[in-house]
Amino acid sequence: MRSTPGFGRANSPCACGSRFVRRSHICRALLTLFLVALSAQLRGEPVALSNQSAGGAKRLLVIAPDAFHPALQDFVAHKQTLQPTELRSLEKILEQNRGVDDPEKLKRFLYEEWRQRGLGYALLVGDVDVLPVRYMVLDRVTPAAFDYSFYPSDLYYSDLAKADGSFDDWNARKESFHAGYFGEVRGEKNKEDPINFDEVDYLPDIAVGRWPVSTPEEARLVAGKTISYEEQVLAKSSAYLHKAAFVAVGGWMDSRNQMDRLAAMLTNAWEVQKRYYTDAGQPAATPPPDHQQLRAVLNEGVGLVVHAGHGAADAWEQCFSLADLDRITNSARLPVVISAGCSTAYFAPLAPYGAYVDVEGKEHRGTDDKEVFTAPPPPPSPYQRGRFNPTGLGEQVLKRGPNGAVAYIGCNTGSQPCGLTLVEGFVRALAEAKEPRLGDCWASAIRYYFDKEHLATLKPNADWYPPSIFFQGMKFMLFGDPSLRMPANSRVTK
């Protein structure tokens, strides 16, 4: 598997910036409301003017293949007691909406639901084999791949509209092969083009999460874990929910000081424990981040786990792996997990390096298996099935069994040091929100990242790093219910 140089693979500093995005996002929302109202008036139709229902709670859509619906009935009934919630058929959505392919059909459906009826959250129930994934594109310097690479991005489904409220198809450049390349980011190979080649808006309009499940049985299991966790949050009776573990393992970048700052954001309400690596520059100050310690932390119960340092598709370096899942017994004390490590949310093939099926149905070995592309490689199909559907740590932590985690946020390929800005945005949102929800905290993290890392003004230079900064948020996944309630910044009261 070939991945972008990863977390700690570069020493480029993270930028610090203004608060422009927060202001611009508000302006965009106001402009969108005006345009929606004007459009509705011209058509003589009523329309929702926000992403909230008439009762004030933001609406949730659960979108799943028809075969999964019976397994989701209890979950939908649970959510309907908390907020407006609807279960929708993926097949009908794809049949009834226009678009160049299934991801665009699904996105146009979400856009209209947001624009006309008000929509706050979308839960996509399905792995890449049953629910379509949009791949974005980077002009990565890899001659055998004709200097292109593809990465799955669910930010595509969250960023519905441009600043003027119009639909954002993530495909501003449609000439020749670019018509099939969405969310193109340039600047690693092509230095004269803008980094945001497809003029992606980037800012979330709704909160989107995915359950990467392939069967109704897996969907039922994840639904049950989610219900159990949320009931504990609502009851305010589980002390473990206000316990957090910060885990720092080795990398090319020393994350320990930054992890300390993030942990400090939670200390007023949370019981924080740390597991940091030791080197010559910093003697042992915490228990080590090894397998025994991580298993003990999870089995004792924590509500939040934050990880930084080297990672892989199946492990956090030297401390947590798929094999550890068989020795974890925390089904009654499930955490939300966020990792800045490389590839820990790997769940779909990274074309054209790994084996994949393209949009025409042709199978490819990938450049890792000596395939050479002499023209722009055909993009991957939005569906990857059978041997073309890989798995990873984040996916398995969620769906392998009743233990593990209720939600996992991580990178599906290489993560760079600036990925910690996303983690910072998430922890900050969690600490500041009066009634935090998983997807709101993640959407806030994306906006915070856009602002702090100056994505609107990034330009190519001689290095590979600026485009990597830009598409960092595009390659992080949220595996979990975006409307999931999380513990508020206050102590347990019962």
Tens of pLDDT, residues 206-246 = 999 999 999 999 999 999 999 999 999 999 889 999 999 99
Task: Give the Cα separation of 420 and 426 in Å (integer).
Answer: 10
Structure tokens at 103: 């991801």
Determine the Cα–Cα distance for residues 118 and 52; give it in Å rounded to an integer.
6
For the chain, how far is it from start to end, CA to CA, in angstroms?
49
pLDDT band for position 491 (50/70/90)?
low
Interatomic CA distance for residues 352 and 368, integer angstroms: 8
Q: What is the span of the domain harbouring residue 222?
A: 20-479
Structure tokens at 6: 């990863």
Mean pLDDT in residue range 34-58: 48
Assigned domain for 395 exists: yes
Residue carrying the six token digits 């899942």 = 325
E strands, 302-387, where?
A: 304-308, 311-312, 315-316, 320-321, 336-339, 356-357, 363-364
Provide the pLDDT for residue 28.
52
Per-residue pLDDT band at 57 (split at 50, 70, 90): confident
Q: pLDDT band for position 268 (50/70/90)? A: confident
Two tokens, residue 162? 């441009």
Task: Determine what percent of the chain is predicted with pLDDT higher than 70.
Answer: 88
- The pLDDT, as a whole number, for residue 452 is 98
| Residue carrying structure tokens 């669910």 | 154
Q: Which of 493, 483, 490, 413 is nearest to 208 (CA)?
A: 483
The mean per-residue pLDDT over the stretch 349-378 comes to 98
Q: Does some domain include residue 369?
A: yes
Question: Taking a C-beta distance cutoff of 8 angstroms, is the pair 436, 429 a contact?
Answer: yes
Contact 137, 146 (CB under 8 A): no
267, pLDDT greater than 80: no
State the pLDDT at residue 2. Answer: 40
**Mean pLDDT value of segment 432-454:** 97
Q: What is the mean pLDDT of the chain?
A: 90
* Distance (Å, whole) CA 417 – CA 7: 5
> Does the residue 489 lie in any domain?
no
Q: How far is CA 17 from CA 341, 444, 449, 471, in A?
A: 24, 16, 10, 17
Task: Give the number of domains in the chain.
Answer: 1
Helix or strand run (H / E) with residue 248: strand 243-248
Question: Does the pLDDT of residue 17 top 50, yes or no?
Answer: no
Type and span of the H or E element at 137: strand 135-138
Tell me what pLDDT residue 31 has: 52
How confident is the model over 368-388, as pLDDT tens digits?
999 999 999 999 999 999 999
Distances, alpha carbon 283 to alpha carbons 280, 288, 316, 395, 474, in Å:
7, 11, 21, 34, 36
State the CATH number of the domain containing residue 268: 3.40.50.1460
Q: What is the mean pLDDT of residues 275-292?
A: 89
87 located within any domain: yes
Q: How far apart are CA 467 and CA 473, in angstroms?
A: 11
**In the prediction, which pLDDT does 8 show?**
37
Is residue 360 one of the residues assigned to a domain? yes
pLDDT of residue 5: 44
pLDDT at position 56: 62
Length of the chain: 494
CA–CA dist 198, 178 (Å, integer) = 9
Which DSSP string corresponds to 144-177?
A: GGTT-EEEE-THHHH--B-TTS-B--S----SGG
Check residue 251 and give its pLDDT. 80
Q: What is the pLDDT of residue 13?
A: 32
What order do you get walking across the sheet with 315-316 strand by strand?
A: 311-312, 315-316, 320-321
Task: Return the higher-pLDDT residue of 44 and 252.
Answer: 252
- How far apart, in whole angstroms, are the C-alpha atoms of residue 440 and residue 473? 15
What is the rounded average pLDDT of the residues 91-118?
Answer: 98
For position 40, what pLDDT does the model report? 41
Q: What is the mean pLDDT of residues 54-62?
A: 80
Q: For residue 487, is it within any domain?
A: no
Query: Stretch 335-359: mean pLDDT, rounded?
Result: 98
> Given pLDDT bands bounded at 50, 70 and 90, which one contains residue 52?
low
Distance CA(406)–CA(316), nearest Å, equals: 18
Residue 282: predicted pLDDT: 74
3-class secondary structure per residue, 478-494: EECCCCCECCCCCCCCC
Is residue 67 one of the residues assigned to a domain? yes
